[in-house]
Amino acid sequence: MKIGFIGLGNMGAPMAANLAKAGHDVTGFDMADISVEGVTMAGSAAEAATGADVVITMLPNGQILRKVAEEIVPAMTKGAALVDCSTVDVDSARAVAEQAQAAGLLSVDAPVSGGIGGAAGGTLTFMAGGSEAAFERASPLFDIMGQKAVHCGEAGAGQAAKICNNMILGVTMIATCEAFALADKLGLDRQKMFDVVSTSSGYSWSMNAYCPAPGVGPQSPADNGYKPGFAADLMLKDLRLSQQAAESADADTPMGALAQALYARFVEDEDGAGRDFSAMLPRFETRGRG
pLDDT tens digits for 110-129?
Answer: 999 988 889 999 999 999 99
Which helix (H) or strand (E) is 267 found in, with range? helix 254-268
Q: How far apart are CA 51 and CA 55, in angstroms?
A: 10
pLDDT tens digits for 182-214?
Answer: 999 999 999 999 999 999 999 999 999 999 999
| The pLDDT of residue 286 is above 80 | yes
| The pLDDT of residue 226 is above 80 | yes
Catalytic residues: 162
User: What pLDDT is stored for residue 290 in this prediction?
Assistant: 72
Query: pTM above the 0.85 mark?
Result: yes
The DSSP-derived string for 213-227 is: STTSSS--GGGGTT-
- Cα diameter, the chain: 65
Q: How far apart are CA 134 and CA 138, in angstroms?
A: 6
181 close to 123: Cβ distance less than 8 angstroms? no
